[in-house]
Structure 1
Amino acid sequence: MFSWNSRRYWDLWPYELPLHHFPGQPELTQEPPLERQQRPLVHFLQPNELPPAENDDIYQVFNFMNRCYLLAGIFMVITVFQWLLFTLLVKQKGLFVLPGFICLLLAFTALMMLTFCLQLRSNRWFGCIFAWLFVETVALSVILLLPVRSIQNISVALVAALIVLAVCYFQGAWLPMFILPGVIVLVVVLIVFAALAGVVLILFILTDQSVYRVVYFGLILFVTLPMSLFHAQVIHGRRYRLPKEAFLSCAVIIYMHFSLFFMAFYYLIWVHKW
């Protein structure tokens, strides 16, 4: 009567109750051993690893950026060497107005060709020829139009221009986008600069006062700052994705910003020497 029988309790209260409302687990198909060995393994990304497509994009942007800065650095080194060599060889003080003005017109023509001739710019030899033409004519026009050519004046203005150029391109590459100037801001700045620069040049020609010259180069410094910030965003792929053949034009624009900074700082620092 009081005997213990485990089978009796097992039948009345089983350990696993049946679940009538949920389907059972489907049977998995057995894979042959040969196919299991030949099946490719799934690649799991590490926490700091990016997909292959994104890695390719980052590599292309980095390669484009290195080409731009390397070529622009070569342009700057050659230009500074020519400026110092011309300063040591030519002892005559004063302006070479006519040769400097001719070189400036040639530089502007080469820049327009590089900017608007898209079909010709796709040719590598065409781009290289007009890029070197722009660099050489800008270097000659700047050194010919300097009122006082000395190692001290050129060195101080050169250091100031390089520091401001490096700061602008560093900020354009790392600052948040909502702080940096966009296309609308750049267009407004260029329109205001064109209007004010025209008025200042007319007043300088009519009155021949040095204060208008200082205002003019101050405007050049003012407009070059947002241009450098915007161009840094383009080079680092933050605004637009340019083709890899456009690194030559971008290097020329960096060199142009360097030349504008140099001219602005030279005339603003050594204004008392005129």
Structure 2
Amino acid sequence: MFGGSSTKYFMLWPPALQVLNFPSQRQQEQAPRPVVHFEHPPGHQLHTAPYFLRIPRTVPDADAPSSQETGNGPKTEVTFMRRCYMMAGLFSVTTAIMAMILSKAIPSEADLSLPGLICAVVSFMVLFVLCIGTKCRKLYWFSFILAGCFASLACVSVILVLLERNLVVMCLALLGASALIVTCYFAGAWLPRNVLPGEAALLLLVFFFVVASIFVLIMFVFTNRRIYQLLYFIFLVITVIPTALYHAQVVHGRRFKLPVHEFVICAVTVYLHFLLSFTALYFLIWTPGGDMVR
């Protein structure tokens, strides 16, 4: 049975494979091989480059401006400016309303200089705490509470210190202070920087104001002449104008850019300029009875 030549077994090998449904070697070579495609989600690619040639992935910064600010939304400078002017305008309008109400509620002959001085000292203490609390100013509730306390106390102190509290003179001073501040901040926002005061000019002006104020106040105490009082408030108005021009550049981001939460301290500065202008213009417009000697 197993005895025959090997040629017979070689001739019988292919039919046996066909019976068992195994393709022959020639059919295996001619049959196309299937191609397998691996699907992957869109956007995912296999990085085959070496590690040192790969582009590092960028991590979004938390302090970077949002897409709304970099896209179609308002810029950070515009948002800062709007918040600053809205808060300063709120303080100024509140001061004007309180000044008109208290001028009629308090008798003109009442001497309230001492309570006004106490309110002024407390308001400047609150302002000092607000200025030195740089880290706490990031908390809006801290800034809002201190700014509101300063605005209220400063407004009451100025109204109590005013002489006679004449309603007509007070309204004229409020209109003049509003026009002065709006003009200064508009000019500081649009005029070229080479014609606006810088840091050196501002420091020189403040030094001149301090020296001149000390001399004028000493002369007013010893002579009690109103001319020295008028000179002091003229110096005050002259100092407020360049200071407001410089601060307008800060509010509009022309000098340097502040963080967004610093709009509260800038609004307080704008309000302080308005309050000082109102006080100076009131004493310049108000004329007491009699001659220049009080």
TM superposition score normalised by structure 1: 0.77
Q: Matched residues in 1 for 2:256 and 2:110: separation?
A: 44
Q: Residue 94 of structure 1 contacts residue 146 of structure 1 at CA under 8 Å; is this kept in 2?
A: no
**Aligned pair 1:236/2:252, yes or no?**
yes
1:187 aligns with 2:203: yes
Counterpart in the other structure of 2:135: 119
Contact 1:79 1:139 in 2 (8 A): yes
Residues 130-153 of structure 1 show CA distances to partners (whole Å, capped at 9, x for unaligned) of 101110111101100110212201
Which deviates the most, 202-211 or 219-228?
A: 202-211
Percent of paired sites with the same residue? 36
What CA distance in whole angstroms lies between the structure 2 residues aligned with 1:159 and 1:263? 12
State the 1:94 CA deviation: 4.5
Q: Which shifted more, 81-90 or 227-236?
A: 81-90
Moved >6 Å (runs of 4+): none
Equivalent of 1:168 in 153, 171, 184:
184
Q: Is 1:93–2:109 an aligned residue pair? A: yes
Query: 1:146 and 1:267, CA in 2 relative to 1: closer, same or farther beyond 3 A?
Result: same
The answer to whether structure 1 residue 108 and structure 2 residue 124 are counterparts is yes
| Residue identity matched to 1:147 | L
1:196-253 deviations in Å (ceiling 9; x for gaps):
1111111111111111110111111011001100110000010010000001111111
Counterpart residue number, 1:211: 227
Q: Give the whole-Å Cα distance in 2 for the aligned partners of 1:119 and 1:64.
A: 18
Determine if contact 1:99/1:141 at 8 Å carries over to the other structure.
Answer: yes
2:215 paired residue among 199, 203, 208 = 199
**Aligned equivalents of 2:72, 2:134: Cα separation in 1:** 26
Gap regions ≥5 residues in structure 2: 1-42, 44-67
Unaligned runs of 5+ in 1: 1-37, 39-51
Q: Does 1:221 align with 2:242?
A: no
SS in 2 for 1:129: helix
Q: Cα offset for 1:55?
A: 5.8
Bigger Rg, structure 1 or 2: 2
Q: Are the equivalent residues in 2 in contact too, given 1:173–1:233 (CA < 8 A)?
A: yes
What TM-score, normalized to structure 2? 0.72
Partners of 2:220 and 2:229 within 8 A in 1: yes
Q: How many residues in Structure 1 have an aligned counterpart in Structure 2?
A: 224
Q: Return the letter of the residue paired with 2:218.
A: I
Change over 3 Å in CA distance of 1:267–1:152 after alignment to 2: same
Provide the rounded CA distance (Å) in 2 between the counterparts of 1:157 and 1:269: 7
User: Which residue of the other structure, out of 76, 89, 92, is the alignment partner of 1:73?
Assistant: 89
- 1:132 is aligned to 2:148: yes
Shift of 1:113: 1.3
Tell me by how many angstroms 1:271 deviates.
3.2
What amino acid is aligned across from residue 287 of structure 2 in structure 1? V
Q: Is the 8 A contact 2:103 2:167 kept in 1?
A: yes
Kindly provide the amino acid, as one letter, of the partner of residue 129 in structure 1.
I
How far apart are 1:54 and its partner, in Å?
Answer: 6.6
Aligned to 1:3: none
